[in-house]
A and B are shown apart, each in its own frame.
Chain A
Amino acid sequence: MKFGVVVFPGSNCDYDTYHVLNNVMGVPTDFIWHKDTLLSDYDLIVLPGGFSYGDYLRSGAIARFSPVMNAVKEYSEKGGLVLGICNGFQVLLESGLLKGAMLRNKNLHFICKHVYIKVKNTNTPFTNALKEGQVLRIPIAHADGNYFASDKDLKGIKDNNQIVFQYSDKNGDINDNVNPNGSLLNIAGMVNEKGNVLGMMPHPERASEKILGSTDGRYIFESIINYLKNRR
């Protein structure tokens, strides 16, 4: 098993993600430069958080055109697992691998804090180690996390059970008061139709070691490892 973390100019969670995958989860992990296009050796590609290309134009808009993203698209079409965290989620939306778009946070603040998210769908390679309705405590750190999709796309996303995580309170209640950024349906994370591409705004790599205050992020990495072991 081997994981790859894509590095765009301006990625800044690439080393944190590498550290958790390689040292905490114990899976050999490589950095993949944004100009590289050979992904066939990897069992998971992570698009990490940060500010790729300075978030110029729109968050993720320039990264979408880097050579590696064509390869990521092909990789996902063949069923490869892709995890986009924060800026990685924004890149997945801009590139059309996930439907919808991110708007500026409703209160215009850059929000950096621990939030609660409720698990809506456990039937994915990224959430099989979780229980439906389980509540995780994982930090967010973003200015553009206000998820938007057209009525038609949102209906499709709901009907296909593509919503994976929703902002909630610690008891799992989903309401406007616990929606940090204004996202439609409190969406914090979602998969594509096939279920092999996950985008999420919270940072699981910042919640994978006791010293950082929460280890809930590990469930996601454990799920991925379970899935890959069982697939073999």
Chain B
Amino acid sequence: MKAKITVKLKDIVLDPQGNTILHSLKEMGYEEIIKVRQGKVFFVELEESDKARAENLLKEIAHKVLSNPVIETYEVEIIE
């Protein structure tokens, strides 16, 4: 099974990297862009055929390791 885990900074947390990218885009003339938040994506493969069990396992590692719950949130998506 393959999955995608997206880790994002919480909205209340300042994102200096996202802000700098936004600023650069505006400088380049992309005036339509009004917000950029930088995050991380993990592509994970696992040996598990049961979707529910896989999801639980992925949520566990997303919570415990891949994200820091103080500043980040995560989304787990099974892709195949």
> Do A101 and B16 have beta carbons less than 8 Å apart?
no
Contact between A107 and B65, CB atoms less than 8 A apart: no
Q: Interface size (B, Cβ < 8 Å)?
A: 12
Q: Kindly identify which residue among A57, A61, A148 contacts B14, using a CB–CB cutoff of 8 Å.
A: A148
Whether A61 pairs with B68 at a CB distance below 8 angstroms is yes
Give the A interface residue count (CB, 8 A): 20
Task: Tell me which residues across on chain B come within 8 A of A146, comparing CB atoms.
Answer: 14, 16
Q: How far is the CA of A50 from the CA of B65 in the complex (A)?
A: 20
- A150 neighbours in B (Cβ, 8 Å): 12, 70
Q: Which residues of A contact B71 (CB under 8 A)?
A: 101, 103, 148
Query: Does A182 contact B68, Cβ atoms closer than 8 Å?
Result: no
Contacting residues, chain A, for B34 (C-beta < 8 A): none
B70, A149: Cβ atoms closer than 8 Å: yes
Q: A57-B65, A61-B65, A65-B65 are in contact. Are A182 and B16 (CB under 8 A)?
A: yes
Which A residues are CB-close (under 8 A) to B12?
A: 150
Binding site for B on A (CB under 8 A): 57-58, 61, 65, 93-94, 99-101, 103-108, 146, 148-150, 182
Chain B residues in contact with chain A, CB under 8 A?
12-17, 20, 65-66, 68, 70-71
